Structure 1
Amino acid sequence: MAPTAILIHGDTVRTPELRHEVPLGIPDPFFYAESDGRRMVAISAMEAMRVESLGIGVEIHTPEEFGADELRRSGLDIHTYASEMAVRIVGGLGIEEAVVPVRFPLGIAEALRANGVELSVDQKLFDDRRRSKSAHELAGIRRAQKAAEAGVAVARDLLRRAENANGGLAVDGEPLTCELLKEHIQAAFLAHGAVSDEMIASHGAQTAIGHDMGSGAIGRDDVVLLDLFPVDVESACFADITRTLAVGEVSTEIRDWHRLCREALELATAEIRPGVNGGDVHRLVSEYFAERGFPTLLTKQEGEVLQDGFYHGLGHGVGLEVHESPALGVIGEELVPGDVITIEPGLYRQGFGGVRVEDLLLVTEDGHELLTDCPYELDLS
């Protein structure tokens, strides 16, 4: 018989499974459990009132209910205390058997198992629980996407206004660099209630390396790739967008790739609806590129590490993680209403450059909604 209980331990900053259930930023670890129709949290008094104020229908328990004061006076070291407290909390919540996510802390799992609690890992269960976004999460994704679009707009404006100076380009008296773009993009994010630890603003040959974050001076005739994935501060939900821009004159090859990527984006977007497997959409785009002479993950030789052509998956889910289910790659998953996904075809050649365009979509009951509202044009004017 499958376990009837669900058990999660962590903080809501680094544990998306927990943030989905308790939509509040909580930096210290706590327990969340579901059993026999009950939803329960065991959390410190410092956070208990905050969780209660959410009104999400969870029972709130504090460590004191499970003998925390006695353990604190017992002389145990902090690590032994934490393990013993975990055993007492889980036993006190009536959990004898539970399903946990793959990132459930190993040390706590060992302590629980040593005391007779049966745990099994089922990450798909937890991924599926987060697939259909809550109203709170979807609102956060929409805000994050507006922040991403504002970042693209700021970068486009800086690139457009750049002028020749000292053998390179400058804007507002400063050298035009990837670092300058990122500084202004981050400011745009903050103005829209979002932040980003990393972002891609690469140029030249860097754009051929899918996740090269970008660095250095942008040239007079250069290609710039922006891949922005800010997180909405209120909801902790991400967005994702990619645009490729031409500074001055770029090669005909880059222009052709950009046209093909836009056509592939349109081709894939038309397929997005519930019941479609992401792997089939990836295959459709791969065949489109392969017919035009580009290598893909589906045409490469067994064991070959592909570095040119279309060498990555078509897309992925977005939510409390920037990369989450469903997958749209060689291995795909069937789309369901409430999924938020990216479509991001790209073409590359190492040592030369690359092009990628990416939109964000919401899978609806009868099709999809495009969440991205941002120009595709390669040229800045």
Structure 2
Amino acid sequence: MTPIDHVSRVERLTLRLADGPLGNGCDALLFLDLTDVRWLTGFTGSNGWVVVTADGVTLGTDGRYGDRARAETASIAATVIVEQHAPRLHQRLVDTLSGNSAVALDASTTSHSSWARLACEVALEPTGSLVKLQRQIKDEAEIARIESAARAADAALADVEPMLMDAVDHPLSEHDVRTELEYRMRLHGADDRSYDTIVASGTEHAARPHHSASRRTIVEGDTVIIDVGALLDGYHSDMTRSWVIGDPTEQQREIYGLVVAAQRAGLEAVAAGVAAKSVDDACRRVFDEAGYLDWYLHGTGHGVGLDIHELPFHSQTSDDVLAAGMVVTVEPGLYRGGFGGFRIEDLVVVTESGHRVLTHSPKREL
């Protein structure tokens, strides 16, 4: 796959600082959130910080990751600091920041204790992360990784769906389905699962949008929700499909049809310049007109990238606006204890004229 262009990402930030302090007087940026660190520098370790000034980038980490840090940040010529002990690494951070008038730090991804400790030694300014804002728009290399992850999940589900459809004659549990999916995603090229795969069956488990797979045996008449995603080179995919085991009832047909219609309406609403709330409205309207709005228990979607849930969010309270290059989910569902539930979710790239779907598993008719 095309390498990620970390050089241009760093250049955008350093150029802003080279033009003078940011509006809040900051002449240095500090990143403690590891996802922001990875997006900016390529560093994949589990401990580290990054400082960006007009003069360049400094990355600090512990002794486990020295060689990795130097290799992964070679393209951006980062200065790499390695210390074996946390107090020494903290002091190196303070030393790196000394001489700056103010340091911008995203307070939302920093613990109170970390902030309080560092604020005693450095002039911190709470700010949103400039990296998080840029992360919303994916470049072609990022989209390629997300699309490859989605293909791995599609292929795994294609392998496992026949087992699910044969569950009446050959019993299997939610655990069995989850294990097969996660194993087969790796066989099809994924590095890992994207999240804890959801397999929810029956009148109670399928009524929980984020049910954890159990040892319950899937039986005839069950509604079944499978929410599955793959992880590839740090990038996530996300997809949900739903079924009925055996012949569906009239109510099951009705509810499933509403979810299909709502998801179609949500997808049709996705385009650059559209308010994310409007995507949620489009799905919600279908359920409201049918009298099932109180069965809808969550928002309609979210951004996907290095995090499985990131900006933008399709919800009633969202102020986000979609832009070309964003990768988002559209995932309406209906749930009720005593009935079960259905959810259908696709992952799409926002385009100027609409969207391009990345998840291609069939949506079965009931």
Using structure 2 for the length normalisation, give the TM-score: 0.84
Query: What is the total number of aligned residue pairs between the two structures?
Result: 334
**Which residue matches 1:9?**
32
Amino acid at match of 2:358: L
In the aligned structure 1, how far is the partner of 2:87 from the partner of 2:315? 44
Structure 1 residues 261 and 81, CA gap change in structure 2 (3 angstroms): same
Partner residue of 1:375?
362
In structure 2, how many angstroms separate the alpha carbons of the residues matched to 1:313 and 1:35?
38
Provide the rounded CA distance (Å) in 1 between the counterparts of 2:100 and 2:159. Answer: 52
How far residue 340 of structure 1 moved from its aligned partner, in angstroms, is 0.5
More helix by share: 2
Paired residue for 2:48, among 3, 7, 30? 30
Aligned residue number for residue 91 of structure 2: 84
Query: Residue type of the partner of 1:208?
Result: A
1:327 to 313, 322, 345: 313
Gaps (5+ residues) in structure 1?
Answer: 73-77, 165-169, 296-307
Counterpart-to-counterpart distance in 2, 1:134 and 1:100: 25
Of residues 262, 265, 272, the one that matches 1:274 is 272
3-state DSSP of counterpart to 1:224: strand
Judge conservation of contact 2:60–2:89 (CA < 8 Å) in 1.
no
Q: Take 1:24 and 1:139, find their aligned partners in 2: how far apart are those partners? A: 19
**Contact between 2:299 and 2:316, CA under 8 Å: does it hold in 1?**
yes
Contact preservation (8 Å) 2:167, 2:218: no
Q: Which residues in structure 2 correspond to 1:196-345 (within 5 Å)?
A: 196=193, 197-205=195-203, 206-215=205-214, 216-232=216-232, 234=233, 236-295=234-293, 308-332=294-318, 333-345=320-332
Give, as a single letter, the amino acid of the residue that structure 1 aligns with 2:210: H
Q: 1:39 aligns with which of 17, 41, 57?
A: 57
Number of the residue aligned with 1:300: none
CA contact (8 A) 1:199 1:228 kept: yes
CA–CA distance in structure 2, aligned partners of residues 116 and 311 of structure 1:
44
Q: SS at 1:208's partner residue?
A: coil
Q: Which residue matches 1:178?
A: 174
One-letter identity of the residue aligned with 2:166: R
Contact map agreement 1:230 1:239 (CA 8 A) in 2? yes
**Contact 2:237–2:347 (CA under 8 A) maintained in structure 1:** yes
Equivalent residues of 1:204, 1:224 under 8 A apart: yes
Q: Where in structure 2 are there 5+ consecutive unaligned residues?
A: 1-22
The corresponding residue for 1:144 is: 149
- Aligned identity (percent) is 25
C-alpha displacement of 1:226: 0.3
CA deviations 1:233-290 (Å, max 9, x no partner) are: x2x1111100001211222111111111111111121121111011122112212211
What is the match of residue 121 of structure 1?
A: 127
CA deviations 1:49-75 (Å, max 9, x no partner) are 31244x2x2432325xxxx6xxx8xxx
Query: Counterparts of 1:311 and 1:35 in 2: how far apart (Å)?
Result: 44
Larger Rg: 1
CA contact (8 A) 2:150 2:238 kept: yes
- 8 A contact 1:83–1:111 mirrored in 2: no
Distance 1:203 1:163, change over 3 A: closer
CA distance in 2, matches of 1:42, 1:96: 21
Runs of 4+ in 1 over 6 A off after TM superposition: none
The answer to whether the Cα contact below 8 Å between 1:86 and 1:112 also exists between their aligned partners in 2 is no
Q: In the alignment, is the contact (CA less than 8 A) between 2:202 and 2:224 conserved in 1?
A: yes
Whole-Å separation in 1 of the counterparts to 2:94 and 2:163? 56
